[in-house]
């Protein structure tokens, strides 16, 4: 069985498990406890924080450990936006009520984001009276910097963009968007959950103000994640309690998880350039073979600006679920898109936003490759051809 659904999750790397084990079995103390076992845990947590910060080019104090990418996105979007709205409310009397005729404040995103981003924005609209703009994307899922810039208002407090799309793999020009926002003094949050290990993450290079990452996309356990957020950006916490993570995320920290996350991130970053080139070449050969041999195949996403580990197609006239079942029967495990939306009968919101017809969107199949992949996928392309032919046969 060949597992090609690595955008959904990846196995825990042996190096990660080895690094975590002492903090699950020996140094298992609560890092807030003032005794030897607790202090050892606190030291390990501080080391993990510093290691993550080095990869991102942030300060150690800018790193907030979370339970994954969904929490990191929720904390970034709600936390930054609500903190900004509270600050605006405090300042309103002093600025002669130049206040917002459109709501408490304004946030910007795109219609192709992960559900944790879209639902966080919807929450701000529904519960806190925010206004929101969803900047359209083109047919290849790219958003233009000019369109983002035009969407800004005087009361815009946050722009949240996915660095790389989780369904079609399209990569956005994050640095260019960040530069435009910097001129307008609007913070940028990057959802980099899918980008980590494939694309640069340096804050200096990209210019973001906040970034979300998930450990299980990198070879760390599920339930681990990070929000990197520059210290100058006010953040309203979502979880209240003991004030851990410098008051930004209460709850006893998962020290072993933090160590595992830091280890996985360092390994992925050290391998990134070579892995992206190697896997990208395999991806290109696979895409070309599928497009050549399967007449109904259409590549989705940007053909150039895309993750090295993602190839996604529609197969008009078929059922995506039927193709997936045929592929699995032939030993290939893949998916129809985001695992977070699995089980939904609705066509992908990402593909619909790209202008793909609903009936065609429901034929989508996504292949996402591991970083260790080192051999051509010709046999998988042949399996795709046979699977599409099988479900397209008369009488099916």
Catalytic positions, please? 340
Long-range contacts of 278-284 (CB under 8 A, 24+ apart): 278/373, 278/374, 279/308, 279/309, 279/369, 279/370, 279/371, 279/373, 280/308, 282/369, 282/373, 282/374, 282/375, 282/376, 282/377, 283/308, 283/309, 283/310, 283/311, 283/369
CA 332 to chain centre: 24
Contact status, residue 77 vs residue 70, Cβ threshold 8 Å: no
**191 and 161 in contact (C-beta within 8 Å)?**
yes
Rounded Cα distance, 351 and 111, in Å: 10
CA angle 206, 113, 325 (to 5 degrees): 120
| 202 phi, psi to nearest 5 deg | -65, 125
Which structure tokens are listed for 91? 């300042």
According to DSSP H, which parts of 129-207 are helical?
A: 145-151, 174-184, 203-206
Tokens of 345: 């009968």
Q: What is the dihedral of CA 11, 13, 17, 19, to 10 degrees?
A: -150
**Distances 16 to 218, 222, 265 between C-alpha atoms, Å:** 10, 12, 10
The Cα–Cα gap between 372 and 278 comes to: 9
Could you tell me how many residues make up the chain?
Answer: 396
d(CA 309, CA 314): 17
CB 106 within 8 A of CB 81: no
DSSP secondary structure string, 65-115? EESSHHHHHHHHHHHHHHHHHHHHHHHGGGGTS---SSSS-EEEE-TTS-H
Rounded to 5 degrees, what are φ and ψ at 147?
A: -65, -40
Query: Would you say 337 and 167 are in contact if contact means Cβ atoms under 8 Å apart?
Result: yes
The 10 Å Cβ neighbour count of residue 302 is: 19
């Amino acid at each position: 069985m060949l597992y090609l659904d690595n955008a959904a999750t990846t196995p825990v790397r042996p190096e990660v498990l080895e690094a975590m084990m002492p903090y699950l079995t020996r140094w298992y103390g609560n890092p807030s406890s003032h005794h030897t076992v607790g202090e050892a845990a606190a030291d390990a947590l501080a080391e993990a924080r510093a290691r993550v910060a080095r990869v991102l080019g942030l300060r150690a104090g800018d790193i907030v450990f979370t339970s994954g990418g969904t929490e990191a996105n929720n904390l970034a979007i709600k936390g930054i936006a609500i903190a900004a709205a509270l600050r605006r409310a405090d300042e309103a009397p002093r600025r002669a009520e130049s206040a917002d005729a459109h709501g408490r404040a304004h946030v910007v995103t795109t219609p192709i984001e992960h559900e944790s981003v879209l639902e966080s924005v919807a929450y701000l609209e529904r519960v806190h009276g925010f206004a929101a703009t969803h900047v359209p994307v083109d047919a290849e899922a790219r958003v233009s910097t000019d369109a983002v810039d035009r969407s800004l208002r005087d009361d815009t407090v946050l722009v949240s963009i996915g660095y790389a799309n989780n369904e079609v793999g399209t990569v956005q020009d994050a640095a260019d968007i960040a530069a435009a926002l910097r001129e307008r003094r609007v913070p940028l949050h990057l959802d980099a959950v899918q980008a980590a290990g494939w694309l640069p993450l340096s804050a200096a290079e990209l210019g973001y103000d906040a970034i979300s990452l998930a450990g299980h996309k990198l070879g760390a356990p599920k339930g681990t994640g990070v929000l990197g957020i520059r210290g100058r950006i006010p953040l309203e916490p979502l979880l209240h309690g003991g004030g851990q993570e410098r008051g930004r995320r209460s709850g006893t920290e998962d020290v072993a998880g933090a160590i595992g996350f830091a280890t996985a991130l360092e390994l992925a970053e050290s391998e990134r350039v070579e892995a992206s080139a190697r896997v990208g070449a395999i991806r290109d050969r696979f895409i070309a073979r599928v497009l050549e041999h399967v007449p109904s195949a259409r590549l989705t996403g940007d053909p150039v600006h895309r993750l090295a580990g993602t190839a996604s197609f529609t197969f008009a006239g078929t059922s995506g679920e039927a193709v997936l079942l045929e592929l699995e029967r032939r030993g290939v495990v893949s998916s129809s898109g985001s695992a977070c939306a699995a089980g939904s009968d609705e066509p992908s919101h990402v593909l619909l936003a790209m202008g793909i017809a609903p009936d065609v969107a429901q034929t989508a199949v996504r292949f996402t490759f591991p970083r260790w992949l080192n051999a051509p996928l010709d046999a998988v392309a042949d399996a795709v051809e046979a699977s599409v032919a099988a479900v397209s046969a008369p009488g099916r």
